[in-house]
A and B are shown apart, each in its own frame.
Chain A
Amino acid sequence: MIDIWKEFPGIIANAGITLQVKEGEIHAILGENGAGKSTLMSILFGLYHADRGTIKVRGKEVHIKSPNDAFDLGIGMVHQHFQLVHNFTVAENIIMGKEGGFVYDIKKASKKIKEISERYGLSIEPDMVIEDITVGMQQRVEILKMLYRDADILIFDEPTAVLTPQEIDELMQIMKNLAAEGKSIILITHKLDEIKAVADRCTIIRRGKLIGVVDVAKASVEDMAAAMVGRPVSFKVEKAPCRIGRPILEIENLSVMNSKKVLGVKNFSLTVNGGEIVGLAGVDGNGQTELVEAITGLRKVDSGTIKFNGRDITNLSIAERNAMGLGHIPEDRQKRGLILSAPLSSNMVIKEFRHRPFSNHGILDYPAIREYSEEIIEKFDVRSGEGVDSLAGKLSGGNQQKAIIGREITSDPDLLIAVQPTRGLDVGAIEYIHKQLVEERDKGKAVLLVSFELDEIFNLSDRIAVISSGKLIDIVDTASTDEHSVGLMMAGIRKGESDE
């Protein structure tokens, strides 16, 4: 891809980016969110068209108008969200859209799938049903799908976001196998240690511009991070030893139904004290959402109790819990956290607009709301075009998240539940948000951090609780454990059990 330009209304997503990937190479693309990685790949995959620039595959200039053109050129993409039919078998999923005729020969296809699987060490059986296999295996099915279609260039879009540490190791091995067989791999990520582990070369982009191509073996992680962000970054969060206070949140034998009407949280007990950050580690979809919704009142409890500041809140309304001092940074900031079509000022008082000083006998006091919101956006450095009058939807993801965090922290909660507080944010914003959470802890507040990123959990937490299939596996002190053993627990294996 040579000198690719792409402009969206108001933003130049790609300003003259050149990307060269050699045969048999693992090439990483590193950049913050919004740097233009996805746009570049979407152009390569035929989802967008470049305003300028040329694409050459194997030395020949090509015009990729649709994903089908990309397939024909041997370009395959493993998306972040898998595109599989859950009640179909592996083989059926793989040949879907590729049957090539009215009647298809599933036996022949199965044989080919098996061959590919063995050749690259994917260990996938063609007759397994998708809904019965793990997320890591589903991802391998996606890879198989590309290989079945004879793809030579494979694009991986943030492939490790949904995997446990062990699964990540397996994936890295598979990538190396593929590269050894002469496939070219493009790995899109913002995780530096993964690049360090597998990639040969790395193209760094920042704000749509090409910063440089580095030889991964020769560059240090710090250098790459600095090149990505444009300034030196510290990875470790500075924090003083924690001073544990009284219990703030006490969960006892809690069971909660999930939306499929089966128990999503099973007999779960956990206490979070003032002055500490408890990290809830687990792979996405293991009951974290249900647990948080039960604590905040968004979901009904099946059995068990939740106590907050010593008071039983199991059956209180959401508003009552909020009024008692429960702060919640929701997982989906655009769905739950903000009203995107409303100005920031309204969003800042969404929980408290009924109380003085924001309203009086049911009449809103706009100057008071404005003043309060301006204080928040100033203190938390929320950047927007028109200050508190900007619509929440016009803000960047990082600024939206800062606004939510500002709102929650300013209301001075005793317990702050932060779910994936840094998802999709750039390194600078992550640094800032982590600092805020640690500050809350140091003020003596209780913080429950739910995250799918082990780095984040280890960086911030004083204690780590591990959840798997809705059950609490164990609670451990961060100082006395490591990523490997937490990773095992995330897969449901309790300490000591693995040896037997």
Chain B
Amino acid sequence: MNKKKVINKPLEARKASPLVVSLSAVFLGIVAGCVFILCIGKNPFAGFERILFGALSNTRRIGNTLGMSTQLILIGLSVAFAFKTGLFNIGAPGQMLIGGITGSILAYYLPMDMPRIIYLPLIVIASMLTGALWGFLSGFLKAKFNVHEVVSTIMLNWIAYWIVYDFIPRFIIDPTISVKSKPIETVHTLRADWLTSLTSFSTMNYGFFIAIVMCVVVWFILQKTTLGFNLKAVGSNRFCAEYAGIKVNRSIMISMAIAGALASLGGLTYYCGYSNIMEMGKMPSEGFDGIAVALLGNCSPVGIFFSAIFFGILKMGRGSLAATGIPTEIADTIIATIIYFTATNVILASFWNGLFKSSFSRKEEAVAAALKARGDDRGVDKLSKEEFKQLAKEGKALVAGKKEGR
């Protein structure tokens, strides 16, 4: 055992944690939503009640919400992984399409009697590989030609879009509706009979469990491995990483490949689990929602899990808003407002820090008063945490009494 050293931490005001900041963004977003609903003369509480009803009122709806959250978790992880390594992956929609088309083609051509225990890992691995290649392309362009990843991923989104546009009629067209792929047989999707019947025919599928596993995997890579250390070093200060002998260009390519694989997996769960068809000429907006999920979740796997479920609730619940006469766009507006507040997290953090600091200095004042009353000449900085708390209580009464006397 290594000896645990006690380091005398100075007593100081609390700092706003990322959780507090994210929750305040959600709170402000909901308040803004209430204001919007009030503006059109409806009852905001009824509106939010409808959203919750639409998303969570029975097992089927809960299943659908989790089914929607599945891809949001995976895309969020993809964006966050790139973020942690200093890259902005805005290419999730394209990577989703690549994963989706890989899965769909395999689902169409692989024999129906193939055992699922072989079939499922096969499509998961295949779509991760194609997605990794797609992400790697952006990383490669950045490393070799210094093309900014935002530019290359956006362009690759459109390349993926047109590939899918071409591949659907070429390989997997539904002859009756010529703009869609032929629906995949249920045994070739990620759906499971037991899950489907448990959640009364919802869209929930094995993808949800894959997403949970990936949360753990991403956490493990970033926190526990030398690879994660390496990538985070490049992300936080590439000059220092270079100085320390880390191969910066290689790290960028690896990071984008992993981000691509995660988003592509999101695409697989979306097109071969949540849904069972692909449409021509449609860019999946979930790819962009993943950015918001990652931001709100502070790029941590646990945070992303919960923020994805929160966004899943908003997305699934909004359909029920119409019953109250509130336009469904309100839900989108709330999402957008939350993104806005998350993006201004610095302001939110400094607001909380200011609050914590002023309460701390009030406490300090109280402690000083209490010390004086006791005739104790120790400085405030010499006290232990417990003593500080005790004295703060004592002093508070003193300070309050003084003010009244004045």
Q: Which residues of A does B touch, CB under 8 Å?
A: 296-298, 317-323, 328, 330, 335-342, 346, 350-351, 353-354, 359, 362-364, 367, 370-371, 374, 385-387
Query: Is B186 in the interface zone, CB < 8 Å from A?
Result: no
Q: A297 CA to B243 CA in the complex, in Å? A: 9
Q: Which residues of B does A touch, CB under 8 Å?
A: 2, 5, 7, 9-10, 224-227, 229-230, 232-233, 236-237, 239-247
Q: A350 CA to B7 CA in the complex, in Å? A: 23
Q: Residues of A contacting B225 with CB < 8 Å?
A: 362-364
**B7 and A335 form a contact (CB under 8 A):** no
Q: A341 CA to B239 CA in the complex, in Å? A: 13
Q: List 6 A-B contacts (CB under 8 A).
A: A319-B246, A319-B247, A340-B236, A340-B237, A350-B233, A374-B5
Shortest Cβ distance from residue A420 to the other chain B in the assembled complex, whole angstroms: 15
**A318 and B243 form a contact (CB under 8 A):** yes
Shortest Cβ distance from residue A407 to the other chain B in the assembled complex, whole angstroms: 10
Q: A186 CA to B241 CA in the complex, in Å? A: 41
**A353 and B229 form a contact (CB under 8 A):** yes
Q: Residues of B contacting A317 with CB < 8 Å?
A: 245, 247
Q: A235 CA to B309 CA in the complex, in Å? A: 64
Q: Residues of A contacting B242 with CB < 8 Å?
A: 298, 318, 336
**A387 and B236 form a contact (CB under 8 A):** no
Q: Residues of B contacting A374 with CB < 8 Å?
A: 5
Shortest Cβ distance from residue A406 to the other chain B in the assembled complex, whole angstroms: 15
Q: Residues of A contacting B247 with CB < 8 Å?
A: 317, 319
Q: Residues of B contacting A359 with CB < 8 Å?
A: 226
- Assess A385 versus B10: contact at CB under 8 Å? Given A336-B239, A338-B240: yes
Candidates B2, B230, B233, B240; contact of A337 at CB < 8 Å: B240
Shortest Cβ distance from residue A361 to the other chain B in the assembled complex, whole angstroms: 9
Q: Residues of A contacting B5 with CB < 8 Å?
A: 374, 387
**A362 and B9 form a contact (CB under 8 A):** no
Candidates A330, A353, A364; contact of B243 at CB < 8 Å: A330
Residue of B at shortest CB range from A317? Answer: B245
Candidates B9, B226, B240, B246; contact of A386 at CB < 8 Å: B9
**B2 and A363 form a contact (CB under 8 A):** no
**A350 and B240 form a contact (CB under 8 A):** yes
Residue of A at shortest CB range from B1? Answer: A367
Residue of B at shortest CB range from A347? Answer: B240
Q: A319 CA to B230 CA in the complex, in Å? A: 13
Candidates B2, B227, B245; contact of A370 at CB < 8 Å: B2
**B243 and A336 form a contact (CB under 8 A):** yes
Query: Looking at B10, B237, B239, B242, which has the most chain A CB atoms within 10 Å of its CB?
Result: B237
Q: A322 CA to B244 CA in the complex, in Å? A: 8
Candidates A322, A323, A364, A367; contact of B229 at CB < 8 Å: A364
Q: A340 CA to B10 CA in the complex, in Å? A: 21
Q: A367 CA to B246 CA in the complex, in Å? A: 23
**B240 and A318 form a contact (CB under 8 A):** no
Q: Residues of B contacting A328 with CB < 8 Å?
A: 243
Q: Residues of B contacting A298 with CB < 8 Å?
A: 242-243
Q: Residues of B contacting A364 with CB < 8 Å?
A: 224-226, 229
Shortest Cβ distance from residue B99 to the other chain A in the assembled complex, whole angstroms: 26
Candidates A320, A323, A336; contact of B240 at CB < 8 Å: A336
Q: Residues of A contacting B229 with CB < 8 Å?
A: 346, 353, 364
**B9 and A339 form a contact (CB under 8 A):** no
Query: Looking at B9, B10, B242, B244, which has the most chain A CB atoms within 10 Å of its CB?
Result: B244
Query: Looking at B226, B241, B246, which has the most chain A CB atoms within 10 Å of its CB?
Result: B226
Shortest Cβ distance from residue A370 to the other chain B in the assembled complex, whole angstroms: 6
Q: A211 CA to B158 CA in the complex, in Å? A: 67
8 closest residue pairs by CB, A with B = A319-B245, A318-B245, A387-B7, A350-B244, A336-B243, A339-B237, A351-B244, A339-B236
Q: Residues of B contacting A339 with CB < 8 Å?
A: 233, 236-237, 240-241
Q: Residues of A contacting B241 with CB < 8 Å?
A: 339, 350
Q: Residues of B contacting A386 with CB < 8 Å?
A: 7, 9
**A353 and B236 form a contact (CB under 8 A):** no
Q: Residues of B contacting A387 with CB < 8 Å?
A: 5, 7
Residue of A at shortest CB range from B228? Answer: A364
Q: A328 CA to B230 CA in the complex, in Å? A: 20
- Assess A362 versus B239: contact at CB under 8 Å? Given A351-B245, A371-B2: no
Q: A374 CA to B7 CA in the complex, in Å? A: 11
- Known contacts A318-B245, A337-B243, then 9 further A-B pairs from the complex at CB < 8 Å, ordered by chain A residue: A297-B245, A298-B242, A318-B243, A328-B243, A336-B243, A338-B240, A339-B233, A339-B236, A370-B2
Q: A330 CA to B245 CA in the complex, in Å? A: 13
Q: A351 CA to B239 CA in the complex, in Å? A: 13
Q: A342 CA to B234 CA in the complex, in Å? A: 12
**B226 and A363 form a contact (CB under 8 A):** yes
**B226 and A353 form a contact (CB under 8 A):** yes
Residue of A at shortest CB range from B10? Answer: A385
Shortest Cβ distance from residue A355 to the other chain B in the assembled complex, whole angstroms: 9
**A335 and B239 form a contact (CB under 8 A):** yes
Q: Residues of B contacting A320 with CB < 8 Å?
A: 245
Q: A416 CA to B23 CA in the complex, in Å? A: 49
**A342 and B227 form a contact (CB under 8 A):** no
Q: Residues of A contacting B236 with CB < 8 Å?
A: 339-342
Q: A367 CA to B224 CA in the complex, in Å? A: 12
Q: Residues of B contacting A297 with CB < 8 Å?
A: 245
Residue of B at shortest CB range from A328? Answer: B243
- Assess A335 versus B237: contact at CB under 8 Å? Given A319-B245, A342-B232, A351-B244: yes
**A363 and B232 form a contact (CB under 8 A):** no
Q: Residues of A contacting B9 with CB < 8 Å?
A: 385-386
Q: A323 CA to B242 CA in the complex, in Å? A: 14
Shortest Cβ distance from residue B402 to the other chain A in the assembled complex, whole angstroms: 24
Q: Residues of B contacting A335 with CB < 8 Å?
A: 237, 239-240
Shortest Cβ distance from residue B111 to the other chain A in the assembled complex, whole angstroms: 38
Q: A337 CA to B240 CA in the complex, in Å? A: 6
Q: A318 CA to B226 CA in the complex, in Å? A: 18
Q: A386 CA to B10 CA in the complex, in Å? A: 9
Shortest Cβ distance from residue A13 to the other chain B in the assembled complex, whole angstroms: 18
**B2 and A354 form a contact (CB under 8 A):** no
Residue of B at shortest CB range from A321? Answer: B245
Q: Residues of A contacting B246 with CB < 8 Å?
A: 319
Q: Residues of A contacting B245 with CB < 8 Å?
A: 297, 317-323, 351
**B233 and A367 form a contact (CB under 8 A):** no
Q: A353 CA to B232 CA in the complex, in Å? A: 13
Q: A363 CA to B242 CA in the complex, in Å? A: 21
Residue of A at shortest CB range from B234? Answer: A339
Q: Residues of B contacting A354 with CB < 8 Å?
A: 226, 230
Residue of A at shortest CB range from B9? Answer: A386
Q: A340 CA to B237 CA in the complex, in Å? A: 8
Shortest Cβ distance from residue B124 to the other chain A in the assembled complex, whole angstroms: 23
**A342 and B243 form a contact (CB under 8 A):** no
Residue of A at shortest CB range from B229? Answer: A353
Q: A328 CA to B240 CA in the complex, in Å? A: 12
**B2 and A342 form a contact (CB under 8 A):** no
Q: A336 CA to B227 CA in the complex, in Å? A: 20
Residue of A at shortest CB range from B353? Answer: A9
Q: A298 CA to B243 CA in the complex, in Å? A: 7
Shortest Cβ distance from residue A416 to the other chain B in the assembled complex, whole angstroms: 15
Query: Looking at A318, A320, A328, A339, which has the most chain B CB atoms within 10 Å of its CB?
Result: A339
Shortest Cβ distance from residue B107 to the other chain A in the assembled complex, whole angstroms: 34
